[in-house]
């Protein structure tokens, strides 16, 4: 690297990255922007390779994307919204109990009442 100005800028930018005042990707953008505008850097054939090495050092490695096999998705249970009490899956049983109660109440009515009585 022949450009003294770029060296000073990189030191300054790297200090800001270490202090978390600048994102590493932004530093890389600034370095590449300097390369495009500086006549000394444009004439230096090795500066681009050095910038790439610095970028590899300061940029965080991308973690591999989490993959989930399709058969795991098919085997999983569907999402159920919790009821007001925060319980999941209890609604079906409660509804069945309510239906039985209504049938029981209908059976408990006296049979001797006619519509004319009302």
pLDDT score at 19: 92
Encoded tokens for 21? 């005042």
CA distance 68 to 35: 42
List C-alpha distances in Å: 75 to 22, 67, 68, 72, 80. Answer: 45, 16, 12, 5, 15
pLDDT for position 91? 47
- Over residues 45-56, the mean pLDDT reads 92
Q: Mean pLDDT over all residues of the chain?
A: 75
Statement: residue 45 has pLDDT above 80: yes
Nearest CA-CA partner of 13 in 4, 44, 25, 3: 25
pTM of the prediction? Answer: 0.51
The answer to whether the CB of 58 falls within 8 A of the CB of 24 is yes
84/48 Cα distance (integer angstroms): 62
């Amino acid at each position: 690297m022949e450009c003294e100005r770029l060296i000073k800028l990189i030191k300054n930018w790297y200090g800001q990255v270490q202090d978390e005042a600048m994102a590493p990707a932004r530093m890389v953008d600034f370095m590449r922007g300097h390369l495009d505008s500086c006549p000394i850097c444009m004439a230096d054939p090795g500066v681009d390779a050095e910038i790439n090495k610095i970028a590899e050092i300061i940029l965080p490695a991308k973690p591999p994307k989490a993959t989930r096999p399709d058969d795991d998705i098919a085997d999983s249970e569907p999402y159920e919204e919790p009821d007001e009490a925060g319980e999941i899956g209890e609604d079906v049983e409660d509804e069945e109990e309510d239906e039985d109660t209504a049938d029981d109440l209908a059976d408990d009515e006296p049979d001797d009442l006619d519509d004319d009585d009302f």
